[in-house]
Amino acid sequence: MALYVALCYYDRDRYWDEPPETEFSPEYTEFARRATEAGVMRGGEALHPVTMSTTITVSGGRGGDVMLTDGPYAEAKEVLAGYFVLETADLDEAIGWAVQIPAAWRGKIELRPIAPHHA
Amino acid sequence: MDASAALVKVLREEGSRVLATLVRYLGDLPVAEDALSEATIAALEAWPASGIPDNPRAWLTVAARRKALDLLRRESARAGKETAAYRWGTERAKDEIEEVIDAVETESQLRDDMLRLIFTCCHPALSREAQVALALRTLARLEVDAIARAFLVREATMAKRLVRARSKIATARIPYVIPSDAELPDRLAAVLAVVYLIATEAHAPTGGDSVARVDLEAEAVRLARLLVELMPDEPEVLSLLALLLFTSARTPARSDAEGHVVTLANQDRDRWNREAIAEGSRWLQRAVSWSGGKAGPYQLQAHLAAAHSTATSWAETDWDRIVELYDLLGSVAANPVVALNRAVAITERDGPQYGLAALGAIVGMERSHLWHAALADNLRRLGRTVEAAEELETAAALAPTEGERRLLLSRLLGVRSEPA
């Protein structure tokens, strides 16, 4: 089995306000329910808009000067809006689930394999 | 034949089959490629002394399998833990040789292994660039430097592209499976597109001169033959082979003694390879009989190529049929290149003023030398030589290769010598 994170990207100007939360949230609930029942869901959250972000840099190595910036790391037209962690046998199966996430048609989904951490 | 020549032959003809079997055992393309390389070195050492084995493919498969187990053992030791592939490899190490020999000898198993490998190399999660590189390295067994030369990139760049592609297959777990019936049309289209792209790259090198390039056209035909062997009842596969045979039949006539480009209209048709055209016709007939009256884009292109291949001259070409086929092709696979070729046929069928109108209606070809050259041809025929010369200048400036630029400049000279 392999772990993937499905990164959900939305157009910066449309994310959060439009379409209204109430309209798309049931679709996410439905997706999460099905993925959970299938034993594929390993977690996932929605993220607040990037206007709520704080970007952090520590310069000069660990313990160095902390620099904070209001806003996202990179200004982009499309922003990360949330993610799901999926566990499937292979990429094809993961793609099969990713196409059911509403972000796939409201925005874009980037499917990335999660690197295993060595104990 | 000496041992190293025999080895080169086996690797070219059977290398991808050995690899396909290994991938089934190992589930890992990079390890399988490394193991095959090491087995090749072992063969170079052993064969001159022991003679060429009776079944060279089985010999290579067994040797590569042993090398793969060594590689996996080393890998596991380095990572400090057993990988799944290593456990799998050692669990089944007993009777390994008998097993491999069985595997080599089961043709249907081998067929499935090959299909899995082909569909993996052409998986849509890989870029088209990566798919093409993998097809030429993994399936056609060309050396990396030869592939790099064919695509006019540095060897290190091509090597990196291949490493990245293989490691994506392993890391992102692109599965080694034959697509389900539902997925097959799309997945097969991707495979055919890769082979077609290799063939078109042979005709229209994307820059530079055509010296010291591998014969990509022959490689594309080989790959198409392999696909036909594996999927003999897929009409689009049969059509692709037919199409590539028709177009490759014209290659001897595609340049003159000085190496200058000769367009279809001016080619010496006696130099076309009639045998290849006859073979193409046979495959196309089979494709038609399997397709149940519903022609796909490759079948339509094969019909187009056949119509040109069987015409005795450019003037004697059945332009009604060509236009009709382009109309059909435009309805299943609309793109500006199809529209451009249709406009050229319209010129021949109806005259330059109609061809000019058809060209004018095409959007998105402003950067194509072919579009400007076609405009120039119609303008010249209408006696508008000043405008024709301007279009030819633009076309020459946009031409992707030196050969095409030379051809356009010689036409420009011709137009300038005509009365304005």
Q: Please identify every stretch of chain A with a pLDDT value under 70, giving residue numbers as ranges.
A: 16-24, 118-119
Cβ separation A91–B177 shorter than 8 A:
no
Over residues B284-293, the mean pLDDT reads 94
Q: What is the pLDDT of residue B151?
A: 82
Element (H, E) at A105: helix A103-106
Cβ separation B173–A90 shorter than 8 A:
yes
Say if B177 is an interface residue toward chain A (CB within 8 Å). yes
Element (H, E) at A87: strand A78-88
Residue A108: strand, helix, or coil: strand
| Minimal-distance CA residue of chain B relative to A90 | B173
Q: What is the pLDDT of residue B212?
A: 40
Q: ipTM of the assembly?
A: 0.84
Element (H, E) at A9: strand A2-11
Q: pLDDT tens, B319-336?
A: 999 999 999 999 988 889
Cβ separation B125–A95 shorter than 8 A:
yes
Task: Look at residue B283 and tell me whether its pLDDT is greater than 60.
Answer: yes
Residue B149 · residue B210 · CB < 8 Å: no
Opening angle at CA B241, ends B235 and B242, nearest 5: 85
CA dist B270 and B277 (Å) reads: 12
Q: What is the pLDDT of residue A58?
A: 95
Contacts with A89 from chain B: Cβ below 8 Å: 173, 175
Cβ separation B174–A92 shorter than 8 A:
yes
Size of interface A-B (CB pairs under 8 A): 23
Exposure string of B182-221, with b = 16+ CB inside 10 Å and e = fewer, is eeeeebbbbbbbbbbbbbbbbeebeeeeeeebbebbebbb
Task: Look at residue B78 and tell me whether its pLDDT is greater than 80.
Answer: no
> Cα dist. B280→B226, B245, B247 in Å?
15, 5, 9
CA dist B272 and B338 (Å) reads: 24
Cβ separation B125–A89 shorter than 8 A:
no
Q: What is the pLDDT of residue A23?
A: 55
In terms of pLDDT, which residue wins out, B269 or B52? B269
% of chain B with per-residue pLDDT over 90: 63
Residue A119 · residue B79 · CB < 8 Å: no
Q: pLDDT tens, A42-51?
A: 999 988 888 8
Closest Cα of chain B to A97: distance in Å? 15
Q: pLDDT tens, B125-182?
A: 999 999 999 999 999 999 899 899 888 889 999 999 999 999 999 999 999 999 999 9
Q: What is the pLDDT of residue B35?
A: 93
Q: In what order do the strands lie in the sheet with A2-11?
A: A41-46, A78-88, A2-11, A108-113
CA dist B371 and B340 (Å) reads: 7
Residues 287-326 on B with a CB inside 8 Å of A are: none
Cβ separation B173–A95 shorter than 8 A:
no
Over residues B79-100, the mean pLDDT reads 54
Task: Look at residue B94 and tell me whether its pLDDT is greater than 80.
Answer: no
Q: What is the mean pLDDT of chain B?
A: 88
Q: pLDDT tens, B360-418?
A: 999 989 999 999 999 999 999 999 999 999 999 999 999 988 888 999 999 999 999 88
Q: pLDDT tens, B231-251?
A: 999 999 999 999 999 999 999
Mutation to test the A interface, candidates B119, B173, B183, most A Cβ within 10 Å: B173
Residue A109: strand, helix, or coil: strand
Closest Cα of chain A to B87: distance in Å? 15
Q: What is the pLDDT of residue B257?
A: 82
Residue A53 is given by DSSP the state -
Over residues B63-80, the mean pLDDT reads 80
Q: What is the pLDDT of residue B87?
A: 54
Residue B271 · residue B416 · CB < 8 Å: no
Least confident of A22-31, A39-48, B50-59, B345-354: A22-31
Q: pLDDT tens, B6-40?
A: 888 888 888 999 999 888 888 888 889 999 999 99
**If one looks up domain A2-113 in CATH, what number appears?**
3.30.70.1060
Task: Look at residue B110 and tell me whether its pLDDT is greater than 50.
Answer: yes
Over residues B204-217, the mean pLDDT reads 59
| Minimal-distance CA residue of chain A relative to B183 | A92
Residues in chain A whose Cβ is within 8 Å of chain B: 2, 89-93, 95, 111, 113, 118
Least confident of B54-68, B177-191, B361-375: B54-68
Contacts with B29 from chain A: Cβ below 8 Å: none
Mutation to test the B interface, candidates A4, A87, A90, most B Cβ within 10 Å: A90
Count Cβ atoms within 10 A of the Cβ of residue B49 and give its class: 0-12 exposed, 13-18 middle, 19 or more buried. exposed
Does the domain made of B330-420 have the CATH classification 3.30.300.30?
A: no
% of chain B with per-residue pLDDT over 70: 90
Cβ separation A91–B171 shorter than 8 A:
no
Say if B367 is an interface residue toward chain A (CB within 8 Å). no
CA dist B319 and B330 (Å) reads: 16
| Minimal-distance CA residue of chain A relative to B123 | A92
